[in-house]
Structure 1
């Protein structure tokens, strides 16, 4: 299950996730409309967000440990979070259009949704916290699904 306590790595990841999203609330792309999002996807996204955030904070299994080959999971996870930050830098420097928001970054499709989901999945694997992995899968279905829905609408 996992060891209860405080995860400073979880706090770092959540800050890396939430800070750009808070900035985005004031710099949303023109024409962004969330009113027609599929209700099941929204539900999955919300449940996943709460579950992932809670898990990230309350399990010490995500904190640094002595280096082993298992540490590669954390390194890959953190690398994806750094790419996620790069995606946001590019978005904020762009014209902030819908096509910029739903773009790929470094070959990762729908990078704004895909990068953090995969990063938290790898964090869950690193910590061996099954509950985190379950919540990330639920989050991924909703979050990536919603982005995919908007991306398809943009193409039409």
Structure 2
């Protein structure tokens, strides 16, 4: 445990496009979208908070890890995630683009952050990080799938 700048950078890399989202909200949001069950939103938020804070608290542990295929896979997930964000902004911020499949992969903008944090857990061999990623996965993927099915 211990702070290290790497622990701040890793969650920030996933968070950056979402910060733009605050200022450039989606357009053409269907009024018929219903909120998911409250427990799923709670799980999603708990997972997000955990996945964003644990790397900060355990930054030193992350910083001493050697670069492996898992860290390269994290980078690949990040690149695809950014590609999805570029696609969203190029579409004129159309709401449905947040959920549009990328090839055969449904809800890629939910899948890539989940994979990113799951790979981080594997990379540093942490059950605590894995638990946070699992909670995030259950909440985020289910909430996103719920919305995807409503607009699809």
Give the TM-score normalised by structure 2. Answer: 0.87
Shift of 1:62: 1.9
* Inter-partner Cα distance in structure 2 for 1:140 and 1:27: 23
Shift of 1:5: 1.0
* Inter-partner Cα distance in structure 2 for 1:145 and 1:64: 34
2:57 counterpart residue number: 58
Aligned mate of 2:126, from 129, 145, 148 = 129
What SS does the aligned partner of 1:103 have? Answer: coil
* Inter-partner Cα distance in structure 2 for 1:35 and 1:57: 34
Runs (4+) off by over 6 Å: none
Pair 1:55–1:82, CA change in 2 (3 A): same
Shift of 1:10: 3.0
Confirm whether residue 152 of structure 1 aligns to residue 117 of structure 2: no
> Which has the larger displacement, 45-54 or 100-109?
100-109
Confirm whether residue 86 of structure 1 aligns to residue 83 of structure 2: yes
Aligned mate of 2:94, from 94, 97, 109 = 97
Q: Is the 8 A contact 1:121 1:136 kept in 2?
A: yes
Pair 1:88–1:130, CA change in 2 (3 A): same
* Inter-partner Cα distance in structure 2 for 1:74 and 1:65: 9
Q: Which runs of 5+ in 1 are unaligned?
A: none
**Number of equivalenced pairs:** 149
* Inter-partner Cα distance in structure 1 for 2:85 and 2:116: 15
Give the TM-score normalised by structure 1. Answer: 0.85
Shift of 1:107: 4.2
Shift of 1:140: 0.7
